[in-house]
Structure 1
Amino acid sequence: MTPPGSPGATTVLVIAKEPVPGRVKTRLTPPFSPTEAALLAEAALADTLRTVLALPARRRVLVLEGRPGRWLPPGIEVLPQCAGGLDERIAAAFESCAGPTLLVGMDTPQLTPDLLAPALAPAPAGHPRPDAWFGPADDGGFWALGLAAPESAPPDLIRGVPMSVPGTGAVQRRRLVDAGLGVYDLPPLRDVDSAADAAYVAALAPDGLFAATHRRLTPVGAR
């Protein structure tokens, strides 16, 4: 068994929806059609999974609402999401794991291994490893959440956090602190929710599949 805090000891979870037109990235329509929005969601998920495969993780797990598709590469386990709100689904995903666990979503295709490195590396000699990792999103939510020992987390650490509102991230981080956890903050990132977000992220990470898909679907004059 890999000792906690050593390279490759962390389970990485990606929580995502199957990219089905009309069910994902609905705030991209308009200007994109539901089919185009789903293609952008698929590309964002594919870029995210590609990054996860490059990480020194113990397990790489897609926690999925829906069914796997052509975008799922080898080397990724798939677990179904439970019923309930997003807070319930995130909490249940952590409860399926033991040992250091890091969860990310499918809305940040600009994600790189370097951005996640602090949550995956062992603590420097003489320094304790954080109890939690938190990646704030520009819209007030969060793009990453990590727990060093999810098996001992209190049941209300995530359940009951209001999701998809401007204060989501602040409430979740406060829950971590109030539980007595030492929190390491990862850099803030911008989620892809609107067409403006999509253009910004595509320009920020121009070599990914998301950026290529965005260029293909966006008229030259509208970029």
Structure 2
Amino acid sequence: MPYTATRSIDDTVVAITGASAGIGAATARTLVDAGARVVLGARRTDRLTALVEELGEQNAVAVPGDVRDPEYNDALVAAAVDRWGRLDTVIANAGIGAYGGILDLDDTLLREMVETNYLATVWTVRSAVRRFRAQGDGGDIVIVSSVAGFRGGADEAVYAGTKFAQVGLGGSLDRELRAEGIRVTLICPAGTSTEFAIGAGREEGSPELDAYLRPGDVAHAARVVLEQSRSVRTTVWQLWSAQQQS
């Protein structure tokens, strides 16, 4: 039986961080296919520009910048309001990772990982919640975390710590915001074949990537969550490839 949505997201407005590649770009494509309009956030202006050209300027707008800056997240929300008059969903997807023992990675990289994966998620959520409350009709917060947020692994202690923090944030926000009609969902994929950690523990073209999830698998999960009836909320969705060892 084909998948059938229980709620249309046609003409809804979705802001996506980390949208220049991988899961973020795949999610933008999937949601535009479902009729949504997207605000694309990331640091790589050239990638965002190309994605807007692909999706069409009537469907997408790019806001280049650094998600670690709280003011940037406000600008991302403002772009949605300026262009389409509202914001319905924010997808906090920006993230970086690197593999190595606790003494193997330099201080600068570790700080960037914590700030990008956790603090930036907080700033993105805060900007969106302010807008949702101003609109007064609820909204959706989707945090793209990881199965590493439930079970740490060797050589990924700091990365896993940031994902545990996202899981704690999402669970607490669900309890805080659901009475206002703001749904909070954690989408937690296992290994996904993207640019993630390439050159920092993963190698491009590595055979192990063939057994991983594809970005579109995670994007589909985001679409399903948003197309659920407003009477339903999904708090945690873990995804594993059928081929990857858990």
More helix by share: 2
Give TM-score, length-normalised by structure 1: 0.42
